[in-house]
């Protein structure tokens, strides 16, 4: 089995002494971060070992919102891109993440090598993220593909199943990258309409990937399914799985990942906790021990692909409340007539809106109810609405999926 291409890439960057190299970059990062008003008084000038990182204070999402440019470490003229992330509530300042040209180049470099896990020279890749913003996710993937060299098809989020499927078929496109549930719905459309596709591999990112999405795509397109984890705060790129599909190899030359318990204390490998990220090479806005709100484990041992690079178990968002979105995904996404769904908690009522494009096979409220009956908590009532839609994704047209609470929160919060 071919080892992850991140292995030789990171070995070459770090001279084969990863831990020593990480400690040197961490000390450089601490020194740099102390130039920012926010970190100046919070951080020591340096640490003696990587283990000392655990004694440093955590950075919360609320700190990013409250501080704004208080975390920026370079003059304004060196900022190449600012990403504004919507807040999850209806009030409050948005988060802004600042990148220099060098920060963006490191992400392209990671994408270039990470994508060669599934993209071969001469392949085409349909990009299912917004592609119009210079320095944005779609554009950075496009630049990375050129270096392979492979051809990018800058499509953006799906706005018409028919148009996207015809494009796939007409171009003979072998690979796609995009939102998990959108790509599964597109594969259902291709199967329902008998549109021939030659998809060999799919890369899923920007939202939680559940088993129903993986197995659905494998069955419908006969393709290999890869997963990437990253967020704007990690510089978009973060970790990607390999041919062994046994966890996501971390971008360890640019990021230090810790898994912590509820008190912010590191847990041992194999134990689930919150992912906390420290950037090692970011110049514009280094982040020290940032709480991501995502849950995962560090998988112990060497990957079956042969690489000792550390691996994350497939991450999922931390959830509070009586419902687990991944469980509902596993129950509902296998339905051939369902493209997507949305859960809203309204007091003791669970409102389930099931998106049924008329271009997919029929979908009845009865089969939806049977699929999720066991997931409705005792004492709660389930209300089902089948949304008869056309050729276009409606509930989550290009953003993360969340459980809503009636009277609070945005319906979705994209971070790309
Ligand atoms: Zn591997």
Residues 6+ apart with CB under 8 A from 356: 337, 338, 339, 363, 386, 387, 388, 389
Distance 267 CA to ligand 1 centre (A): 22
How far CA 16 is from CA of 3, 127, 416, in Å, comes to: 16, 33, 33
* pLDDT value of residue 268: 97
Q: What is the pLDDT of residue 112?
A: 98
User: Distances in Å between the alpha carbon of 262 and those of 273, 326, 345?
Assistant: 8, 21, 25
Ligand 1 geometric centre to CA of 400 (Å): 27
Radius of gyration of the chain (CA): 21
At residue 87, the pLDDT reads 60
Fold of 6-104+238-317: Rossmann fold (3.40.50)
How many Cβ atoms from other residues are within 10 Å of residue 393's Cβ? 22
Is residue 189 within 8 A of residue 162, CB to CB? The reply is yes
CA 83 – ligand 1 centroid, Å? 31
Q: Cα of 152 to ligand 1 centre, how many Å?
A: 25
Ligand 1 centroid vs 213 CA: distance in angstroms? 21
In 3-state terms, the chain is what percent helix, strand and coil (to 5)?
30, 25, 45
CA of 244 from ligand 1 middle (Å) equals 6
Length of the chain: 416
Ligand 1 mean position to 201 CA, how many Å?
A: 17
Q: How far is the CA of 166 from the centre of ligand 1 (A)?
A: 34
Question: Residue 8 Cα, ligand 1 centroid: separation in angstroms?
Answer: 12
Residue 318: what pLDDT? Answer: 83
Positions of E strands within 188-331: 201-204, 224-229, 239-241, 248-250, 255-260, 273-279, 290-296, 298-299, 311-312, 316-317
Which positions ≥6 away from 269 have C-beta within 8 Å? 297, 298, 299, 300
Q: How many CA atoms lie within 13 A of 367 on its CB side?
A: 14
Structure tokens at 126: 């349909």
Q: Which phi and psi angles does 115 have, rounded to 5°? A: -65, -25
pLDDT of the residue at 414: 38
How many whole angstroms from 311 Cα to the centroid of ligand 1?
8
Q: Residues 265-302, buried b or exposed e (16+ Cβ, 10 A)?
A: ebeeeeeebbbbbbbbbbbbbbbbbbbbebbbbbbeee
**For residue 94, how far is its CA from the centre of ligand 1 (angstroms)?**
36
What DSSP state is assigned to residue 255? Answer: E
| Residue 260 near residue 273 (C-beta atoms within 8 A) | yes
On whether the CB atoms of residues 365 and 384 are closer than 8 A, the answer is yes
Residue boundaries of the structural domains of the chain: 6-104+238-317, 325-405
* Nearest of 168, 181, 192, 247 to residue 214 by alpha carbon: 181
What is the pLDDT, as a whole number, of residue 88?
56
Secondary structure class of 152 (helix, strand, coil): strand
- pLDDT of amino acid 85: 84
CA 247 to centroid of ligand 1, rounded, Å: 7
Separation of 220 CA from ligand 1 center, angstroms? 25
DSSP secondary structure letters along 376-388: SPTT-EEEEEEEE
Distance from residue 332's CA to the centre of ligand 1 (Å): 30
Q: CA-to-CA distance for 39 and 397, rounded, in angstroms?
A: 37
**Residue-level pLDDT, tens digit, the chain, 416 residues:** 899 999 999 999 999 899 999 999 999 999 999 999 999 999 999 999 999 999 999 999 999 999 989 999 999 999 999 998 876 554 567 899 999 999 999 999 999 999 999 999 999 999 999 999 988 999 999 999 999 999 999 999 999 999 999 999 999 999 999 999 999 999 999 999 999 999 999 999 989 999 999 999 999 999 999 999 999 999 999 999 999 999 999 999 999 999 999 999 999 999 999 999 999 999 999 999 999 999 999 999 999 999 999 999 999 988 888 999 999 999 999 999 999 999 999 999 999 999 999 999 999 999 999 999 999 999 999 999 999 999 999 999 877 898 998 875 444 433 34
CA of 10 relative to ligand 1 center, distance in Å: 13
C-alpha 7 – ligand 1 centre gap (Å): 9
Ligand 1 centroid to Cα of residue 241, in Å, is 6
Q: Which fold has domain 325-405?
A: GMP Synthetase; Chain A, domain 3 (3.30.300)
CA of 304 to the centre of ligand 1 (A): 6
């Amino acid at each position: 089995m071919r080892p992850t291409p991140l292995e030789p890439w990171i070995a070459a960057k770090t001279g084969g002494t990863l831990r020593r190299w990480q400690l040197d970059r961490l000390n450089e990062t601490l020194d740099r971060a102390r130039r920012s008003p926010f970190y100046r008084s919070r951080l020591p000038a340096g640490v003696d070992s990587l283990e000392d990182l655990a004694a440093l204070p955590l950075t919360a999402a609320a700190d990013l919102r409250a501080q704004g440019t208080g975390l920026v470490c370079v003059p304004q003229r060196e900022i190449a891109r600012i990403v504004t992330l919507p807040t999850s509530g209806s009030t409050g300042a948005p988060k802004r993440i600042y990148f220099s040209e060098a920060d963006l180049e490191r992400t392209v470099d990671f994408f270039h090598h990470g994508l060669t896990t599934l993209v071969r020279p001469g392949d085409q890749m349909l990009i299912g993220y917004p592609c119009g913003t210079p320095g944005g996710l779609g554009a950075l993937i496009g630049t990375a593909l050129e270096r392979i060299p492979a051809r990018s098809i800058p499509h953006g989020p799906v706005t018409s199943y028919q148009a996207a499927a015809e494009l796939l078929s007409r171009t003979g496109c072998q690979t796609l990258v995009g939102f998990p549930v959108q790509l599964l719905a597109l594969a259902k459309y291709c199967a329902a309409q008998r549109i021939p596709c030659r998809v060999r591999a799919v890369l899923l990112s920007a939202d939680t990937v559940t088993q129903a999405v993986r197995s659905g795509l494998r069955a419908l397109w006969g393709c290999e399914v890869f997963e990437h984890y990253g967020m704007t705060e990690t510089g978009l790129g973060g970790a990607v799985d390999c041919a062994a599909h046994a966890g996501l190899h971390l971008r360890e030359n640019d990021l230090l990942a810790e898994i912590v318990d509820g008190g912010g204390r590191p847990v041992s490998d194999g134990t689930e906790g919150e992912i906390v990220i420290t950037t090692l090479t970011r110049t514009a806005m280094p982040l020290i021990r940032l709480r991501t709100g995502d849950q995962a484990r560090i998988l112990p041992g060497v990957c079956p692909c042969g690489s000792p690079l550390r691996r994350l178990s497939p991450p999922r968002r931390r959830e509070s409340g009586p419902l687990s979105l991944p469980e509902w995904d596993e129950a509902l996404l296998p339905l051939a007539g369902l493209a997507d769904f949305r859960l809203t908690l309204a007091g003791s009522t669970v409102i389930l809106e099931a998106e049924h494009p008329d271009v997919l096979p029929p979908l009845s409220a009865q089969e939806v109810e049977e699929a999720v009956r066991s997931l409705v908590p005792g004492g709660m009532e389930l209300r089902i609405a089948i949304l008869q839609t056309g050729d276009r994704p409606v509930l989550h047209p290009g953003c993360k999926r969340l459980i809503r609470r009636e009277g609070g929160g945005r319906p979705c919060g994209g971070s790309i």
